[in-house]
Amino acid sequence: MEQLLQNIIFPQSSALEGNYELFYLGGRGIYDMEQKKLRLADTSVTDFCSYMNSFSLIKWKEYTAVGPVRLVLELSGRGQVELVGYHLNIHSPVRQTFGVYDFDFADEQELDIPFPENGEMVIGFEIRALSDVTVYGGAWYGSYEEGQRRDVVLSIATTTMKKEDFITRNMAALKEDILDADDDMKENFYIHVVDNGRTLDAKAMNSWHLTVHPNKNTGGSGGYARGMIESLEQDPPATHVLLMDDDVTIQPESVRRTYHLLSYLRDEYKDSFISGAMLLYEEMQFQHEDVGAIRDACTLTSLKGLFDMTEKRSLLKNEEEGCGYGHRYAGWWYCCIPAHMIREKGLPLPLFIRFDDVEFGLRCKPKFVTMNGICIWHMGFAGKYNLAMDRYQMCRNPLVVDAVGSMPSTVNAPDYVRKAFRSELLKFNYNAAELILRAFKDFLRGPDFFQIDQGEKIIKENVQKNEKYQPMNNWPDIEVNFVEIYEDFDRKPLETLWYRITYNGQRLWPFGTLKKGMIPVFFSDVYQPGRYVGHDAMLAVNVDNRTAVERHMDKNRYRALKREWDQAYRYYRRNRSSIVKSYQDAKPYLVSTEFWKKYLEI
C-alpha cells in the first residue's frame, strides 16, 4: 500500500518568498504565487533538499515502518533530476548521489522516480535545467503493509485573544488547502477556534468542520482546556488534539504531514507528542526551538539551540535526537497530543498564562516526535521582557507546578523565586520585586485561589508595574556599548563582601555610594552584580529597541519589601508540608473536565 507523505511546496506569502531558501536553494527562479508554479531558467541548478522539501528518511523510518520511497514531480521543459542524500560525518554534511534522470516534456507531465534504498539521514533532489523548466509540484510517497494504517481524527485547538488578522488568515489557509480541497484527510480534520476576546464573527467564520467558540478570557490555559474539551466531545471524538498558538504563520502542509505521521506511527510512539518547531517570524530561516527543557535552576531552554535552517549542517543536526537535558516539554505554539493522554492525565492546570505547556509536558512525560518541515513562525522573545509576565506569572506558576508534584525533583522552584526576589532588590527594580512578592503570596493562598476566575484582573493590575522605557537619546551623556552591556564586571573581594552585607548599600550603610554616576545595565532578569556594586542608580537598557529606564536606590521601599518577604517566606517554611499537600490533593480536580466546565461556564 502506498501513501502520499509529503508534498513539494513553495512559499505562499511574500515574507516566505523572501526566505525561499527554506524551500529550495541555488537558482532562485521565478515563482508564480497565483498559479503555484516555479519557473527555473536555462542552465540553473536548484536544490530541493531543503528544510521544507527534503524527506527525513531517518525520522520516517524511526517513527513509522515506511518501506520503499518514490518521488513524483510535475514538470515541463528539458532537464535532469539528480537524487541526493545527506548524512553527518561528526559535524560535516556528506553528500551522496543516487542517479540522474532526464526529462524532456513539452507540456506538464509527471516524472515518477523510485528512490533507491539507502541509509542517509535526509534525501532530496536537484533539478538541472537544460532549457527553461517549470515545476508545478510533486510529492514524496512511502510504502506500507496492509493493516499498518491507524484511524486518525485530528482536531486543531487554537485559542486567540484579539489577534484577528493572524487567526483569520491561518483559518482561511487551512480551509483552502485542506477542508475545501480534494484532500484525503479532510473528512477526519476539525478546527476549534477558542475566542477569548469574543471579537471574531463566529457566524461568518463557522463552516464545515470549523467552529468558533466564544469564551471567557481565561488565558491560554483556559482557552486550550476549552479546545481540548470541544475536541474530545465532538462527533466523532478526536484521536489527537493539535494545540496551536494564534499569532503564528502556518503552512497547511505541516498539518498534513502531522496527520500522515499519526496515521502510521509505530506502537512505541503512540503516546508521543508531535512537537512542531518554532521558527522566528522576524528572521524566518532561524529555528528557535522544537523541544524545550527545564534546567535544574528552574529556567527554560531550547534543547537544540538556534539553527539556521537554510544550512545543510543545521538541517541534519536538527534531525538528531537532542541531548543534555532530561526534563522536556513541547511549546503549545504547535503541539499534537494523543486524546487518550488527555483523558488519562487530565487538562491543563488553571495557570492563566505561562508554564502551562511546561507543566503538561512534565506531567505526561511523553516521547517527542519532531521533523523538518513541521513548524510554525512566531515572533521571537528578544526584547519582550514584561514584568507582569516574567516576574509574576513565571514565579508564581513554577511554585504551583512544584507543589502539585509535576516539577522534577532536581528543580528547586522556591529557591529560584527567592533568588529572583533578591536579585531585583539588588538592582533597585522594586516593581519587579513587588510582583515576585505578590506571586509568592498568591501561591501561599493555596489551590482555592486558582479556582477563582481572576487571571485577567491580575494581569491588568500587574501591567501597571511595568517599567516605562524611553528612547536612549534621552540620556546623551551616558555612554552605552550595546555589545559589551551583556557582560558583567569583575568584583574585588571587599566589594563582594560589602555588596552582600549591605544589600548593595540599602542597609547597614549610612554613607554615600562607593562609585559615582549612573551605570548602564542589561534590562531583563539577567543578573550583573559586578555592574551593580557600589552604584545608587542604574540605567536599564533594552538593546533590541534602543530604549532605557532609570532605577534608583530607595531604602524605604527596600525595607518594606524585604520585611514582607521575610514574613511570607518564614510562613512557607513552617507550613510547607501542608501547603504542598493541599495542592496535591486539589490537583485531580483542577485538571478535570468537571472543574473546567464550571470554571468556563459551559
Report pLDDT for 62. Answer: 97
Three-class SS of 366-399: CCEECCCCCEEEECCCCCCCCHHHHHHHHHHHHH
Check pLDDT > 70 for residue 389: yes
Rounded CA separation 428/538 (Å): 8
User: Which fold is adopted by the domain 2-143?
Assistant: Jelly Rolls (2.60.120)
Nearest to 199 by CA among 214, 187, 211: 214
Q: Where are the domains of the chain?
A: 2-143, 154-378, 387-556
Each residue's pLDDT tens digit, 262-321: 999 999 999 999 999 999 999 999 999 999 999 999 999 999 999 999 999 999 999 998
Q: Are residues 436 and 395 in contact, defined by beta-carbon separation less than 8 angstroms? A: yes
Strand partners, 210: 191, 207
Contacts of 487 (CB under 8 A, 6+ apart): none
Integer-rounded Cα radius of gyration of the chain: 27
CB count within 10 Å of CB 106 equals: 8
Rounded CA separation 536/506 (Å): 9
Each residue's pLDDT tens digit, 186-229: 999 999 999 999 999 999 999 999 999 999 999 999 999 999 99
Return the percentage of the chain with pLDDT > 70, whole number: 100
Rounded CA separation 396/437 (Å): 9
CB count within 10 Å of CB 89 equals: 7
The two counts, helices (H) then strands (E), for the chain are 18, 28
Check pLDDT > 80 for residue 322: no
Q: What are phi and psi of 30, to 5 degrees?
A: -125, 120
Torsion of CA 188, 248, 302, 406, to 10 degrees: -60
Each residue's pLDDT tens digit, 220-279: 999 999 999 999 999 999 999 999 999 999 999 999 999 999 999 999 999 999 999 999
Q: What is the pTM of this model?
A: 0.96
Strand partners, 369: 274
Dig out the grid coordinates for 74 from the structure. Answer: 510535475
What CATH number should be reported for the domain whose range is 154-378?
A: 3.90.550.60
Identical fold between 2-143 and 154-378: no
Amino acid identity of residue 250, one-letter, is I
Report in angstroms the alpha-carbon separations of 568 from 320, 391, 428, 500: 46, 17, 20, 21
pLDDT level of residue 122 (50, 70, 90 thresholds): very high
According to DSSP, residue 20 is labeled G
pLDDT level of residue 383 (50, 70, 90 thresholds): low
